[in-house]
Amino acid sequence: MHYLITGGAGFIGSSLADHLLARYDDARVTVLDKLTYAGTRENLQSAEATGRLTFVEGDVCAEQTAREACEGADIVIHAAAESHVDRSILSGQEAARTNFLGTFTMLEAARQAEVGKFLFLSTDEVYGAKTEGSFNEESPLNPRNPYSAAKAGADRMAHAYFVTYGMPVIITRPSNNYGPRQFPEKLVPLFVYKALRDEALPVYGDGRQRRDWLHVEDHCRAMDLILREGEAGEAYNIPGDNERRNLQTIQIILDELGKSESLIRHVEDRPGHDVRYPLDGVKIAGLGWDALVPWEDGLRETVRWYVDNQDWVERAIKRGEDFHNQWYAGRK
């Protein structure tokens, strides 16, 4: 089986490459990635060591690149995106381009190449915020920031390719991922980095917002299952069933590092901050799926990965420095 993973040099895409190559001896993986600040070939070292990974540097918005990458692929997993909400708030241009136009370009290329399956990695954030109850796959989409709005447009474009052309498209909507190799702009790796240096941890608003945490390995298992058992034209939520307030998550990080909660600093909130987006997991449970990684163990192990891989983190921090300085300078 030949998989094409776009965005495969990033956090989730590289984990999926590792997962597929380890699980299936006959799997071959091609990664198409532009290597933005968020992507690095370092993330593919173990995958490349199998000899069954091909890396293509290129932009998912470029038609010819997309067409060439799809040739010969049995399954496309489209994970490439500008994935950070805060960056999209500062400037939505790259999110609009990559997340929407890039998805359209990949869908069209995959249609022409007649690929056997196209998995679009959407997000729980397309539903918008909800204080009570949960979202199922039929809930209306109500994205509230440029990142999630562009993802929601792409999510519906992917669905349109199924309805209009009968293309075998499957949409997944996972919750917040955590695990090794996440870019240190997201909550968990950024706060580990800062806490290790005794720097203040910039908690947006009161820190009582909730996120449902999904370990990236559980996420990869879920995508693998959906590729095998899921139905074309359907969307699948992938919850982690670990909903925690941000402050609770931060307390575990500090505890694992032996650092004091006095590092917590409440700063100006993210505009349009989604307080919570809980997912109903009945549909994926029907495929026989359950998350395996226990939350607190998984988080503590993740924290230790960042402690043990500080060179990796430092290189990433440098690539993200301009954004970091601009965004946090304004949040007192």
Task: By CB under 6 A, name the binding residues for ligand NAD.
Answer: 6-7, 9-13, 33-36, 38-39, 59-61, 79-83, 98, 102, 121, 123, 151, 174, 176-177, 183
Minimum separation from the CB atom of position 297 to ligand TYD (A): 20
Based on the shown chain and the rule CB under 6 A, indicate whether residue 152 belongs to the binding site for ligand TYD: no
Based on the shown chain and the rule CB under 6 A, indicate whether residue 209 belongs to the binding site for ligand TYD: yes
Choosing from 33, 59, 94, 125, the catalytic residue is: 125
Residue 129 CA, distance from chain mean position: 18
Torsion of CA 39, 41, 42, 48, to 10 degrees: 140
Minimum separation from the CB atom of position 84 to ligand NAD (A): 7
| Residue 51: Cβ within 10 Å count | 8
Based on the shown chain and the rule CB under 6 A, indicate whether residue 272 belongs to the binding site for ligand TYD: no
Choosing from 33, 86, 108, 124, the catalytic residue is: 124
Binder among 14, 103, 176, 302 for ligand TYD (CB under 6 A)? 176
110 and 118 Cβ atoms separated by less than 8 Å: yes
The Cα 156–Cα 168 span in angstroms is 14
Minimum separation from the CB atom of position 191 to ligand TYD (A): 7
Based on the shown chain and the rule CB under 6 A, indicate whether residue 246 belongs to the binding site for ligand TYD: yes
Minimum separation from the CB atom of position 144 to ligand TYD (A): 11
Is 218 assigned a catalytic role? no
Residue 53 touches which member of ligand TYD, ligand NAD, none, C-beta under 5-8 Å by kind: none
Minimum separation from the CB atom of position 15 to ligand NAD (A): 8
- 289: closest CA among 201, 164, 162, 174? 174
DSSP 38-99: T--GGGGHHHHTTT-EEEEE--TT-HHHHHHHHTT-SEEEE------HHHHHH--HHIIIII
According to DSSP, the residues that pair with 203 across neighbouring strands are: 266
Based on the shown chain and the rule CB under 6 A, indicate whether residue 279 belongs to the binding site for ligand TYD: no
Pairing of strands 243-245, 210-215: antiparallel
| Residue 71: Cβ within 10 Å count | 12
Is 147 assigned a catalytic role? yes
Minimum separation from the CB atom of position 69 to ligand NAD (A): 10
Binder among 204, 251, 323, 324 for ligand TYD (CB under 6 A)? 204
Binder among 97, 186, 259, 304 for ligand TYD (CB under 6 A)? 186
Comparison of 61 and 263: residue with beta carbon closer to ligand NAD: 61
Residue 170 touches which member of ligand TYD, ligand NAD, none, C-beta under 5-8 Å by kind: none
DSSP 184-216: TTSHHHHHHHHHHTT--EEEETTS--EEEEEEH
| Residue 305: Cβ within 10 Å count | 16
Residue 204 touches which member of ligand NAD, ligand TYD, none, C-beta under 5-8 Å by kind: ligand TYD
Phi, psi of 237 (to 5 degrees): -70, 145
Angle at 314 between CA 193 and CA 316, to 5 degrees: 100
The Cα 145–Cα 166 span in angstroms is 30
Is 63 assigned a catalytic role? no
Interacting residues with ligand TYD (CB under 6 A): 85, 176, 186-187, 190, 202-204, 209, 211, 246, 270
- Active site positions, annotated: 124-125, 147
